[in-house]
Structure 1
Amino acid sequence: MSRNRRSDRLVIWVCSLAVLAGSAALLGWFAVGAVDHVTADDRPATITDVSGPGTRAPTGNNRDGRTISFRLEDGSEHAAATESRWFWWPDEGDTIHVHETSAGDWTVSEDFSWLRTLGFSAVLLLPWIFALLKAWEWVERTARPERWEAKQREERDRRRLARKGRQR
């Protein structure tokens, strides 16, 4: 920290608020995607053609999408672009579920991953949990200063005794 500790605290607060705002925005984006997926009017379809890169390389870059052509139950033919995923390799003749997002624009429901959505959401909740713990600590410190000081003193004594025990 620099000598001007007041500005350091301001920078920490601004950065913390930026991280919380960013994680809230991404959580909202994931929530909208999950709600769109759950409320979609899915229709069964049969895959007629899979084109595009279908590599299973462990490069971590799964943005190399595919175009899946499919036939609905009414016999109409359509196509939709999908992202390649690790454990989903569509093949001709497979049944998938699709929904129409706008006129002529189709989305494949199997492209949605609950595991990815829940995992990223859990990661994005970590800054909020940390912020809640810090807020709880601040409330505890300001509401009961005597108890706070006693806990801090006990912790320092415990660490000091542990350090002395290790040195012998």
Structure 2
Amino acid sequence: MRASYRVTPLLAWVFSLVVLAASTVLLGFFVRDTVRHVTADDQPAVVTDVGGTSPRVSNNDRRRERSISFRLEDGTEHAASAEQRWFWSPSPGDTVHVHETSPDSWEISEEFSWIGTLGWIAALLVPWLVALAKIWEWTARKRNPERFAEKERQAKERVRARLDRSRRRS
């Protein structure tokens, strides 16, 4: 059974605006986190202990975290949890860079992934590139309607010609 529905122009506009709004919000979060990372006041710290992995608190998130204890240059001991990643595995004695996000809450800067951040930002820019291409097409169509009418006529003729050839073969 086939559904007999059609996407109206209004529904297409609403869906497009929802996608653009969602990508803008997510893009804003990525940019905010990137700016926080870049402007953070990092301090060198020596890893004293690497704990075992534990699942994150969220039920639908399958990422694993591990607890990393470290000593700052002033001799104070702190700990932070870091996401387990393939190409980053600190061991006791390694130097990491940390910054305090709130009182007695630390974040390890090496956990930040530039490749992942730039990849997600690029993916979230794709809807905007598609929107810009559609706007470009719409303005070109408004400026030169006869050229687009000719292109549409030629496309229809090509489709008719293909249908005629396939009918003759049958």
TM-score (norm 1): 0.83
What is the DSSP-based 3-state SS (H/G/I as helix, E as strand, rest coil) of the residue aligned with 1:92? coil
Alpha-carbon distance in structure 1 between the residues aligned to 2:68 and 2:74: 18
Amino acid paired to 1:145 = P
Alpha-carbon distance in structure 1 between the residues aligned to 2:24 and 2:138: 22
Contact 1:50/1:90 (8 A) holds in 2: yes
Contact 1:2/1:8 (8 A) holds in 2: no
User: For residues 20-31 of structure 1, what are the structure 2 equivalents within 5 Å?
Assistant: 20-31=20-31
Aligned residues: 160
Aligned to 2:111: 111
What is the DSSP-based 3-state SS (H/G/I as helix, E as strand, rest coil) of the residue aligned with 1:46? strand
Q: Cα 1:47–1:155, aligned 2, differ >3 Å: closer, same or farther?
A: same
Q: Cα 1:35–1:94, aligned 2, differ >3 Å: closer, same or farther?
A: same
Q: Cα 1:94–1:144, aligned 2, differ >3 Å: closer, same or farther?
A: same
Q: 4+ runs of 1 displaced by more than 6 Å?
A: 158-164
Cα RMSD, aligned residues only:
2.6
Amino acid paired to 1:73 = E
Structure 2 unmatched runs, 5+: 56-60
Corresponding position: 1:122 with 2:118: no
Q: Cα 1:90–1:62, aligned 2, differ >3 Å: closer, same or farther?
A: farther
Amino acid paired to 2:101 = T
Corresponding position: 1:83 with 2:79: no
TM-score (norm 2): 0.82
Aligned to 1:132: 132
Corresponding position: 1:40 with 2:59: no
User: For residues 89-104 of structure 1, what are the structure 2 equivalents within 5 Å?
Assistant: 89-104=89-104
